[in-house]
Structure 1
Amino acid sequence: MKTALIVWGGWEGHEPKACADFFAAHLTNRGLAVQVQDSLNIFDDAARTAAFSLIVPIWTMGSITEQQEKNLVAAVMAGTGLAGFHGGMGDAFRGHIAFQWMVGGQFVAHPENIKDYTVNIVNRTDPITAGIPDFKVHSEQYYMLVDPRNEVLATTTMTPSPTAPWIAGVVMPCVWKKQHGAGRVFFSSLGHQRREFETVPEQLEITLRGMVWAAR
């Protein structure tokens, strides 16, 4: 059986525990044996870290030690999958370059915070997005620095912004997958809080498919 580790913590505004519980239940329903931790200490043990099929960080603006980062990156390089969403993975550990390279992007801004915008599916044949139409969300629209190697599955066009008018019309990747060493990596910038996954079925399905795809 495939095994998944969900680690939650960091900024409370993203409801890390609620999201961890929510995805633990859904991944269990999709056939994974899920372990949930509210500590990064498990990454102190390289062997335990590398034993999981999938690791899901839900840990916005947190702190990770150099050894923990090294063990986590090594696990993915060796084949463990990494998957996550929004700030829980795209803004997890600021200043940790090896982690950001592995993720394929880093959050830098969300002008005007919560707003309405459209997610455009750009790869309609990939198993993660197949059969899912474009859809609307009410959330933070992330502006990110991204790896050109990412295989982009969905984008969003940045809406006009009074505080950052120069970004209007920029087409920003918001869902992607990639390979990092032998490991599969999936990321979605959608998912500010748990209720978004509960009310936008397309967003939830893409995220769950991405997590399952990433699992070794």
Structure 2
Amino acid sequence: MRNALIVWGGWEGHEPEAGARAVKAMLEEEGFAVQVENTTAIFADPAIAELSLIVPIYTMSKLTKAEEANLTKAVENGVGLGGYHGGMGDAFRESPEYQFMCGGQWVAHPGNIIDYRVNVARRDDPIMQGIEDFPYRSEQYYMHVDPSNEVLATTTFSGSHASWIDGVVMPVVWKRRHGKGRVFYSSLGHVASEFQVPQMRTILRRGLAWAAR
């Protein structure tokens, strides 16, 4: 049986505890044994090296050097990493090694909660299979991203809220490798109610399953 660790906390605006419950149920449906923690101290535990998957849901917080080093080493050696929105993509702003591993970092969401469109870039990828372009209402994440990411879906900024980014195509969903570990990220999921959007939930569920060792 594959073992997953969910670690939630940080900024309450992203409803991390509710998100952790949703992800836990999702992973259990996939056959994972799931451990849930709400402190980053677990990242310093050498035992995480034996996990199949780690899911951070921890917006705007800090890692100690020991936590950062042990977590990134575990993924580099084969543990999967997967997550969504700010819980993974804006988790530890002062940890460049963590950001290097994730493949991106949030920097803005012009207009805050708005209507935008998600465009599927890789319909041939199993994570995106059967999913067509779809409308979405949430924060449209503007991110600094790694050019080595394998981008599965994008969004295009209109410029309505920041004229200088009109027409910018931004990755929304990607997967990548970090050493031997698989890494998956989706910027969708500002609040837990977004798990009710079928495309968001399906993409995340498939992506986490792909990332797991």
Scaled to the shorter chain, the TM-score interval is: over 0.9
SS in 2 for 1:125: coil
Alpha-carbon distance in structure 1 between the residues aligned to 2:74 and 2:60: 22
Alpha-carbon offset, residue 166 of structure 1: 0.4
**Runs of 4+ in structure 1 over 4 Å off:** none
Aligned length: 213
Residue of structure 2 equivalent to 1:194: 192
Counterparts of residues 100-119 of structure 1 (less than 5 Å): 100-119=99-118
Contact kept in structure 1, 2:22 and 2:195, CA below 8 Å = no
Question: Which position in structure 1 is the counterpart of 2:96?
Answer: 97
Kindly provide the amino acid, as one letter, of the partner of residue 199 in structure 2.
Answer: E
Structure 1 length as normaliser, TM-score? 0.97
Question: 1:36-185 maps to which residues of 2 (within 5 A)?
Answer: 36-46=36-46, 48-162=47-161, 164-185=162-183
Deviation digits for residues 74-102 of structure 1 (CA, Å, limit 9, x no counterpart):
00000000000000000000021100000
* 1:113, distance to aligned residue in structure 2 (A): 0.2
Q: Deviations over 1:33-70 (max 9, x none)?
A: 11110111111212x11111000000000111011000
Aligned-partner SS, 2:176: strand
The C-alpha deviation readout for 1:108-129, integer Å capped at 9, x for no partner, is 0001100001100010011100
Tell me how far apart the structure 1 counterparts of residues 74 and 30 of structure 2 sit (CA, whole Å): 23
RMSD over equivalenced CA pairs, Å: 0.7
> What residue in structure 2 maps to residue 22 of structure 1?
22
- After superposition, the C-alpha distances for 1:125-150 in whole angstroms (9 at most, x for unaligned) are 11100111111110000000000000
Tell me by how many angstroms 1:159 deviates: 2.3
Does 1:214 find its partner at 2:211?
yes
Q: CA deviation at 1:11?
A: 0.2
Report the Cα offset of residue 197 of structure 1. 1.2
SS of residue in 1 equivalent to 2:57: strand
1:205 pairs with 2:202: yes
Q: CA separation in 2, counterparts of 1:161 and 1:186?
A: 30
Give the secondary structure class of the aligned counterpart of 1:55. strand
Structure 2 gaps of 5+ residues are none
Q: Distance in 1 between matches of 2:91 and 2:166?
A: 26
The residue number in structure 1 matching 2:5 is 5
Q: 3-state DSSP class of the match of 2:66?
A: helix
Provide the C-alpha distance between the structure 2 equivalents of 1:74 and 1:194, rounded to a whole number of angstroms: 30
Unaligned runs of 5+ in 1: none
Question: Take 1:78 and 1:161, find their aligned partners in 2: how far apart are those partners?
Answer: 43
